[in-house]
Chain A
Amino acid sequence: MSVEALSPWHEAWRVFCSNKAAVLGLAILLTLVGVMLVGPSAYGVAPFDIAGAPFTAPFTDPSVWLGTDYLGRDVLAGLLVGGRATVLVGLAAATVAVIIGVSIGALAGFFGGWVDTALSRVTELFQVLPALLFAMVLVTLFTPSLKVVILAIGVVAWTGTARLARAEFMRLRNLEYANAARAMGAGPLRLMLREILPNALPPLIVSATLIVGSAILFEAGLSFLGLSDANVMSWGLMIGSNRRNILECWWAVSFPGAAIFLTVLAVSLIGDGLNDALNPKLHLR
């Protein structure tokens, strides 16, 4: 009998797959992404075009299946295209946040001393600013475009990751294997990237997943307030532009709302699953 050599990542994947909720979340997310990728071209209706009479209720007109909004724009077309911007902003903003957060946290935790003091104060400075307000200020300072929105959300969302990365690097930098690597001649960069980062990844991945969820909500919030790119259809923009008519056409607000809810839920379920899968202490259950 041979024991199969499983890398820690294989093992984590196995545990992840045994978590039904996490697999469901992953299935939902993959389905949503698939629909967003092929949906718009398959459906073929542009989201800003007038497709029918305004305030057409859903399931009444087969040509505009999910109804139209107050301008007569097709809600289904908006949902299919709008998800792209929402998910893209969510992922890109989370990437920006994680890059900033991990870099600052890693340097602070690894070097300690005055580097840590300086970077921790900077982190706290960003932490005390109300996130949505700060993002709004950043967006209004520049012309609202997807790039600006991504950067703005990234800049307000990195502090938690930085604190987590700092704590992890601080813990791992003095472990025996880091010392052993030092004794083997590894320099600070090699220690941080090769020895410490892979071992700090599990909690950072979980936190990154959660940031994706909150970045999607941020994007929706900014669009709702009219502070996103008005030329790019997104779920938040749909909700924002129809909010005054919520009583007359609830569907133009509820469907994108439900889509945001479903996406964030899927991401959170994945995050929970990853948390279990990447926490070695839970493997023994």
Chain B
Amino acid sequence: MSAPSTAAANPQASNLASTSAAPVASTPLLSVQGLGVEFRTRRGVARVLDDVGFELRRGQTLGVVGESGCGKSVTALAAMRLISQPPGRITAGRVFFDGRDLLSLPEAEMRRVRGNRISMIFQEPMTSLNPAYTVGDQIAEAVRLHEGLSTADSTARAVQMLEAVGIPAAAQRVHEYPHQFSGGMRQRVMIAMALACKPDVLIADEPTTALDVTVQAQIFDLIAELRESTGTAVMLITHDMGAIAEMADSVVVMYAGRIVETGDVRDILGSPLHPYTRGLIACSPGRRTVAPGELLEEIPGTVPSLLERGAGCLFADRCARVMQKCRQKLPATTALPGRRQVACWLYEGSEA
């Protein structure tokens, strides 16, 4: 099957081609395979990621959802090789980016990828900017580092980037310090910094968690807008199902360091299969109307300690549809039609 016919036959692919400037490649831009990460603690070794795999295509947005402590951020950090070792350690897996395995690149080579080809924005805009430099300096620094531009050119790029992320009077504000910006404005600066070198992939690790609701929507709109204009693929880590519905093309649901369900955003939100995914969606008010006083659903219990993994499914203790088998054996991943996968015994034998 040739690439053009795939694009024509697949409505999703042609849709992508029309919205992004970058050509739709048939091979994924970023492909994470069988990633495993361990953290050594005083009380033993915690397996923080176990057999995590997903793909990100050019111009696409991948949503990564799950509760706190499910390994979403660790996945992003491991892909960028930013896990501090010790105590962390990448035990298994490969991260293919543009044909190369990032995990086996020399560190110097990896530094040329970070910020240049793959960049990242963090949860805390209030503390993610260096208080000792003006915001312009920090954006320009990234450009100088990777593209070797002169001071004048890199400052011009900084102004241009601040304008692109919607900071008014960018030419003046480029000379101001982070403490002179509000939280939302600082996150815009972070985005400007992350996109200054026109990366292929932007990893946004809960970019709006620390911001108030009105600003959250603006930041998501901004990311969506920049994705359209630059063709940057976005990996959006969040626990906001509303943001997923709005932004993502496909979704990875993580639980306790494992991927429990992946698929197209419409499939995941429209007909969630894994009981955990169902729980997550039921927890968020989303688009359905909640009557005053009506309680939102919740998933009972908390994410289990990763130090003492039992033999069975890690969600078993919190699952409403738990079976005998769930407590004995880790569920295998079942592949379903439409690039959909679920790791749950309920769907055993319903393979595509």
Contacts and interface: CB of A to CB of B under 8 A. Distances in A.
B282 interface: no
Contact of B132 (A6, A183, A199): A199
Contacts of A5: 134, 175-177, 180
A103 B78 CA distance: 30
B92 to A, nearest CB: 23
Contact of B145 (A175, A176, A184): A184
B169 to A, nearest CB: 10
A187 interface: yes
A113 B114 CA distance: 25
A8 B131 contact: yes
Contact of A183 (B112, B114, B130, B176): B114
A25 to B, nearest CB: 26
A254 interface: no
Interface string A172-184: 0011110111111
B179 to A, nearest CB: 8
B114 A179 contact: no
B305 interface: no
A185 B114 contact: yes
A185 B82 contact: no
B100 interface: no
Interface string B107-119: 0100111111001
Contact of B177 (A8, A177, A190): A8
Nearest to B125: A176
A176 B124 contact: yes
Given A179-B122, A182-B82, A184-B142, A198 B128 contact: no
A195 interface: yes
A17 interface: no
Given A5-B176, A113-B86, A183 B127 contact: no
B254 interface: no
B190 A185 contact: no
A186 B134 CA distance: 18
Interface string B79-111: 010101010000000000000000000001001
A42 interface: no
Contacts of B133: 198
A174 B128 CA distance: 11
Nearest to A197: B132
Contacts of A181: 130
A5 B132 CA distance: 13
B129 A180 contact: yes
Contacts of A63: none
Interface string B219-242: 000000000000000000000000
Interface string A153-196: 00000000000000000000011110111111111001000110
Given A8-B132, A113-B86, A176 B180 contact: no
Nearest to A7: B177
B180 A185 contact: no
B282 to A, nearest CB: 33
- Top 9 nearest A-B pairs by Cβ distance? A184-B115, A185-B115, A198-B132, A185-B114, A176-B127, A183-B120, A176-B128, A177-B130, A180-B128
16 contacts: A5-B134, A6-B177, A8-B132, A113-B86, A177-B129, A177-B130, A179-B82, A179-B122, A180-B120, A180-B128, A181-B130, A183-B82, A183-B114, A185-B116, A198-B130, A198-B132
Interface of A: 3, 5-8, 113, 174-177, 179-187, 190, 194-195, 198-199
